[in-house]
Amino acid sequence: MIVQISDFLRHVGEEVTIQGWMYNKRGSGKIYFLQLRDGSGMVQGVVAESEVTPAVMAKAEQLQMESSCKVTGIVSKHPKLENVFELQVNDIEIGQIPFEDYPIAKKEHGPDFLLDHRHLWLRSKRQWAIQRIRNQIIRAVYMFFDQRGFIKIDTPIFTPNACEGATTLFELEYFDEGKVYLSQSGQLYLEAAIMAVGKAFDFGPTFRAEKSKTKRHLTEFWMMDAEAAYLEHEDSMKLQEDLVTFVIQHCLQNCLAELEALERNIEPLKKIKTPFKRLTYTEAIDELHQRGSDIQFGQDLGNDDEVLLTQDSEVPVFIHKWPKSIKPFYMKTDPENSDLVLNDDLIGTEGSGELIGGSQREDDYDTLKAAILKEGLQGPEYQWYLDLRKYGSVPHSGFGLGLERMVRYVCGIEHIRETIPFPRMLTRMRP
Ligand code: 4AD
Ligand code: MG
């Protein structure tokens, strides 16, 4: 019977076959300990000379790192460790023995070497754990929005207009239509969709020609945008904190083995509950000054500022109501201060930085039109967007969660390049 390693708990004492790879081996002659993986998990296979035929013993000897193989044996509980199993091997069927040595050895490799071998690096335990957590985060997002009555709407990737400023657009020629861009965010299209379906989210690849080399920026990343009609600024922040809390709880319930494989200290994650802390941008600048920063009102927050603002907090922090001058055209003016907009950035704890950017959207036709022109954007490409303020305009808000930022946060990893299977960055396009 073919069984997944992750199901071993239900097969103790039974003979099973696993289909996978051998990633390491110890022992010699009389007994071999095979480290086996099948994608669902990892297990130690014990091959004892006293229990198997000489032919099986010979195959155990032949197996090299990353050989593919099917291994049959009896599932047993680890003598000492809880929830750890072993396979008492009876038979081995070799698939392929690598005909060159596997390039990723146990020794330490530099990041460039590992990234050049990303197609193989993905097999390592740490990368395996990260991708499984990423998958659970995606699942959690879908579950959350389904429970809240949002439907998934797929927004286009080729777009004629900019959503997040012209400086980070990837441009390409589109047949006879001229220049188009790769989407920076599906937001503008979601705004159209919610006037039909009320509440919607999208989840797909987005692109930014980020010229900066940081541990938090990719040029291709996955974003979940959410948008809802009749949702206003305060309630949008509530939705955001509920989403982030839900995702973290889901990971704590479903990814303990993976978090352990990453040696992630989960205590900080356990402490995350709503409500999150809220600071206006103005308060944040004051607080930064008190902490010795020389940031000026009207400047964007840097990584160091974000760390300063969250270092004493057990929960993520919203920085909201930013100066209009440094934010995109579509954000709604704060009715209490026309220099500010009703937006928020959500900053994670433990130095993880910005997870979400969101805002209430300008719903007045003339105000929005003026903002578009002021930003120097081409009027005609935004006419359909303006139309939404012509035919039954309503207050509405939304936000975008960067998937890789969230994976980085949950996994507690330093560099965003490990959060996505094949990272694209300023100087990295391959494999
Ligand atoms: O804050 P941003 O730019 O917001 C928007 O694009 C809005 N249109 C979203 C909306 O309201 N629907 O991006 C949203 C999130 C950021 O908070 C961050 O988590 C992530 O996307 N992000 C990046 N992640 C990785 N690499 C990059 N270069 C990123 N740029 C933004
Ligand atoms: Mg942002």
DSSP 8-state secondary structure symbol assigned to residue 2: B
Distance CA 115, CA 235 (A): 41
Mutate to test the pocket of ligand 1, among 134, 183, 221, 362 (most ligand atoms within 8 A of CB): 221
Domain annotation covers residue 222: yes
Domain boundary among 96, 130, 161: 96
Per-residue pLDDT at 165: 86
Section 345-354 average pLDDT:
97
Nearest CA to ligand 1 atom 29: 217
Nearest CA to ligand 1 atom 24: 402
Atom of ligand 1 nearest to the CA of 345: 17
Residues 218 and 336 in one domain: yes
Residues 123 and 58 in one domain: no
Residues 142 and 201 in one domain: yes
Cβ(392)–Cβ(195) below 8 Å: yes
Distance CA 124, CA 104 (A): 9
pLDDT bin (cut points 50, 70, 90) of residue 83 is confident
pLDDT bin (cut points 50, 70, 90) of residue 79 is confident
Section 172-186 average pLDDT:
96
Residues 243 and 300 in one domain: yes
Atom of ligand 1 nearest to the CA of 405: 19
Per-residue pLDDT at 110: 94
Per-residue pLDDT at 382: 94
pLDDT bin (cut points 50, 70, 90) of residue 279 is very high
Q: How far is CA 106 from CA 4, 24, 127, in A?
A: 25, 9, 14
Domain annotation covers residue 428: no
Residues 62 and 154 in one domain: no
| Number of residues in the chain | 431
Section 296-323 average pLDDT:
96
Q: Which of 333, 340, 325 is nearest to 368 (CA)?
A: 333
- pLDDT at residue 416 tops 80: yes
For residue 170, the domain's CATH number is 3.30.930.10
- pLDDT at residue 49 tops 80: yes
Atom of ligand 1 nearest to the CA of 217: 26
Residue 358: CB within 6 Å of ligand 1?
yes
Residues 254 and 298 in one domain: yes
Domain annotation covers residue 111: no
SS3 70: strand
Q: What is the total count of domains within the chain?
A: 2
Domain annotation covers residue 368: yes
Q: What is the 3-state secondary structure (H, E, C) of 183-245?
A: CCCCHHHHHHHHHHHCEEEEEEEEECCCCCCCCCCCCEEEEEEEEEECCCHHHHHHHHHHHHH
Mutate to test the pocket of ligand 1, among 223, 224, 396, 397 (most ligand atoms within 8 A of CB): 223
Distance CA 330, CA 404 (A): 25
Residue 206: CB within 6 Å of ligand 1?
no
Which listed ligand is nearest to 399 at the C-alpha? 1
Section 49-77 average pLDDT:
97
Domain extent at residue 377: 119-418
Domain boundary among 96, 127, 147: 96
Per-residue pLDDT at 199: 98
Section 376-391 average pLDDT:
92
For residue 35, the domain's CATH number is 2.40.50.140
Distance CA 126, CA 133 (A): 11
pLDDT bin (cut points 50, 70, 90) of residue 46 is very high
Residue 220: CB within 6 Å of ligand 1?
no
Domain annotation covers residue 299: yes
Sort residue 148 into left (φ over 0), alpha (ψ -120 to 50) or beta: alpha
- How close is the Cα of 70 to the center of ligand 1, in Å? 44
Answer whether 0.85 is exceeded by the pTM: yes
- pLDDT at residue 179 tops 80: yes
Q: Give pLDDT tens digits for 23-39.
A: 999 998 899 999 999 99
Residues 316 and 411 in one domain: yes
Per-residue pLDDT at 70: 98
Residues 166 and 241 in one domain: yes
- How close is the Cα of 354 to the center of ligand 2, in Å? 7
Nearest CA to ligand 1 atom 1: 357
- pLDDT at residue 82 tops 90: no
Distance CA 431, CA 426 (A): 14
Domain annotation covers residue 108: no
Residues 25 and 157 in one domain: no
Residue 402: CB within 6 Å of ligand 1?
yes
Domain annotation covers residue 170: yes
User: Lowest mean pLDDT: which of 106-115, 124-133, 351-360?
Assistant: 106-115
Distance CA 77, CA 13 (A): 9
pLDDT bin (cut points 50, 70, 90) of residue 42 is very high
Section 127-149 average pLDDT:
98
Per-residue pLDDT at 159: 95
Residue 400: CB within 6 Å of ligand 1?
yes
